[in-house]
Structure 1
Amino acid sequence: MTQNGNISGDQFRDMVAAATDWLEKSSQDIDALNVFPVPDGDTGTNMLLTMRSAVDETFKYNEPNVSTVALAIAKGALMGARGNSGVILSQIWRGVSIALKDKTDICASDWAAAMKQASETAYQGLNNPVEGTILTVLRDVATTSQQELENGVQSVSELVEKGMNAAGESVANTPSLLPALREAGVVDAGGQGFYTILEGALHFLRGEIEDMQFRKSRVITGNIPTGNLAGQYVVDDEEAFGYCTEFLLKGENMDIDKIREWLKKKGVSLIVVGDPTTVRVHIHTLKPGSVMNYVCDLGTMHKVSVRNMDEQHEDFLALQKERMPAVDTAIVAVVAGDGLKEVFKSLGAQSIISGGQTINPSTKDILQAVEAAPSDKVIILPNNKNIILTAIQVENLTKKKIKVIPSITIPQGVAALLAFDYEADFETNFNLMKEAKENVKTIEITRAVRSTKLNDLNIKKKQAIGLLDDELCAVGDEPKAVLDEIISKLDLSKSEVITVYYGADTTEDEAKILETELIEKYPSLQVEMVNGGQPHYNYTVSIE
């Protein structure tokens, strides 16, 4: 530290180098947090390699001031960025360099400004920023740094400490913001990496270099319980994963915005950052050749990396299978809607595939879930008549023993799961579940997508329509009125429970009104209201 407690250029460089060494100790622990279905490299390793490149660049300058070091870090990070996390990290350092331009040393207000600019720059670099990631952690650090500065903190070291503590709390909260983290029972890997970098910087500022040799950073645990979700596998709306494609493009007068707009049509997880002479690109694409043909006309490509994510996904499935507790019979279910997914997981389904009406999963999707299931005996619940035949195809594509319960509705799938007996064998459970699905009536309320005449019903486009056990039987202007009409025609003398799963297009207030009315009309029945979150269907109703 300088005499006034500020950080000089040499100290800034050494601080970043020490933080990189500290990150290296935990890079494998951070890698282990990568549990998403499409692993995009290894977060800890990618962040470490990016930081090493940044540090190497700083040692090309003698007696540098803070501004020079910051620019060198940003340049080195951009040139050496690896993976999604590395590119985002390079943008963090770019923001820091912008805030520290023309600075000879760093005071507390400079550090707060650097964190603020880093956050803004990182968010701007992504097409679709996702909360619950390193972006959220960085923003929380920036907010805390500014607040602490306004509260009178004047020491850079103390401000870094306050920011690091905020980062720890933010990392612990990431599972509450990102369902995939909550289901996997881990925190965000990039956020953990950034916390570790701040922690290493703080150790340096405190003069704890010797102590750093014999310790390493802790892996933060989430601050919400994961319940029984560990060991379950969720396949989201699926298609071929393609290739994780990364490269550095060097040229003159390149238009970053134009490059980004063109590449948006060629893939997902797109990041395009840099300046008119140097552009870093990260994209997941099915046709990396098309991407490269385009950019080759703009400049020269360097540090090209193309990784087959379908192969990475197979490795992930094998890892997931190893992590899952063994069961005699595993259940794979096709479900749409976050609430309904939670219902099926709570009832014991080990693998959930996102799908249903209008979003039918492919044979590949179902096969991948079957292979990931923690048993060689698997029962599949399609829960939609258009998915049954697809599920049956899987029987000939795997060495596992497969049974398909021909469930055509969500309530049938729930009834089948409730009948599952953990002490029974595979064949017995199949028969129990198949029989149970027949003992439930299903009402589904949606809106017509076109005008037609069917089952003696004149239907206008966007009118509410009702199906009873997949047969169209009612039409009206309002979903609740159509549901009332169907229920009123049923013989409920032997029924005990009405369960209503309300969809994404139905408000909680509407659901509460319906619940009150059903209780008043049918006092002898137990009425349950569940936020299913399913698309397209206002209500999916089970009557047992």
Structure 2
Amino acid sequence: MKAIDASKLQQMVIGAYKYLEENKSLVDELNVFPVPDGDTGTNMNMTMKSGVDKVNQTSGLSVEEIAKALSQGTLMGARGNSGVILSQLVRGMSKALKGKDEIGAVEVRDTFKNAAKTAYRAVMQPTEGTILTVARKMAEKAEEAFDEAKDLDDYLMEIITEGQIALDNTPKQLPVLKEAGVVDSGGQGLIFLLRGALNALNGDIDRDIDLSSNENVEEGSYKIKFELLIKEDEFENISDSIDSLSTNFDYEFDDGHLKAEARSEHPQQIISKLLVDGTLAKLEIENTNPDLEVSKVKGENLKKYGFISVSRGEGFDEILKSMNIDKIISGGQTMNPSTEDIYKNIEEVNAENIIIFPNNKNIIMSSKQACELTDKNAMVLETRSIPETFTAMLEFDEDKDIEENIENMAESIEDMHTVEVSISIRDTSVNNIEIKKDDYIGILDGDIVATRSNIEETAKQAIKNAIDEDDDISLVTIYYGEKADKRRAKDLVKKLSKEFKDIDVELVYGGQPVYYYQATLE
């Protein structure tokens, strides 16, 4: 096989998704922490599903169209850090296939190279021994093994084999993986996707899926024509941005002058990019479907600040509502909201400035990606737990600008300690602590510090560890979850209050799943 056409690429995309879907639980189980919140496989699978849905809505006349649709779908459907990184890998693929009708060896090489490069750029502090390493090693192999005359299935097999070797080596690069006896979950998800794609390349086309129908093709209702004066070194960035926000993007670029046409459901996003990144010389907008109800940003009665918070738990939701949070997105462990979920909530908040609280380290990247897609002034405060939002909101000052508020709120949670108590789903060893299946785990600031057969004893030990490490703690707030016993929770508070007489210990209903207790120490 010397070339891959659009219909075959579409089948490979579907094959990749199906293979990951069949194996997503295996990826979920690779989480280092043996708590029942494994979500890497689920996040990557749902991200890929959004891409497949978009691909199946395109006419699929060229590999460029397939790759662009996949990129748009995964960008908006990205869930969790693994999903965001996957969307960036696909974005790199889309850039490599721009203007291509089919894929040969050159395009395969460029796809792996651009995918790894784009994903690395998206992560502020890349860590080796992760999905990024697997992607980079495959890109290097694609370069090393390149031969324009090589059969594509053989070429891809060499590249994916190198990826498997890189995945197997991830425990040697990250000690935490070695101790837990697992490989990187994101890297494993990527290998499953590529295996599925290769299987589809060598197999028959799935006749259950119409690869040529134009009935579901979606085009933006607004036709936008513009001319922009822009510097040479800024051209690639803005063209990528416009491409990701539109369909049928067509342009000419000559000596700092960009002439372009595109279609989009949200022209205000594109206009915002143009005004920020260059000098707008000409702009025409035509609504080709005037009967469509268009969501517009209300210009009247804009309040100065709006807030969006991710939350999971009845008690937590009620506290956030009492703090005048505008939008509460249901999500958290095991249920990360997508980039599109967050983006839609941003669009619905009628405020000049919007602050987003992801409340989970695995939702920070998708929150930032949503901010990049909107033309509103939205910023992310990198909260890693819901109680951090409570503390941050107490520091908020409406008279200050958003940058200063973000800085002050970040400082207010910088010295907070967080304790979480869950149950182990397997035997393992983490931080030299031997953990047995069905025992309880106490996690302090992201590290497992205690394990017991009793929930409250586990919570008490983890909280004591935090107090022993920090002499300045004066307040402990314990949030009990939906499966915690209120009577036992009250008893835990009494024991802690008796042992630490100089520290105030409070009990609040959080109603959160997965974690029997969450506690903050300030």
Query: What TM-score results when the alignment is normalised by the length of structure 2?
Result: 0.49
Q: Which has the higher contact order (CA 8 A, sep 6+)?
A: 2
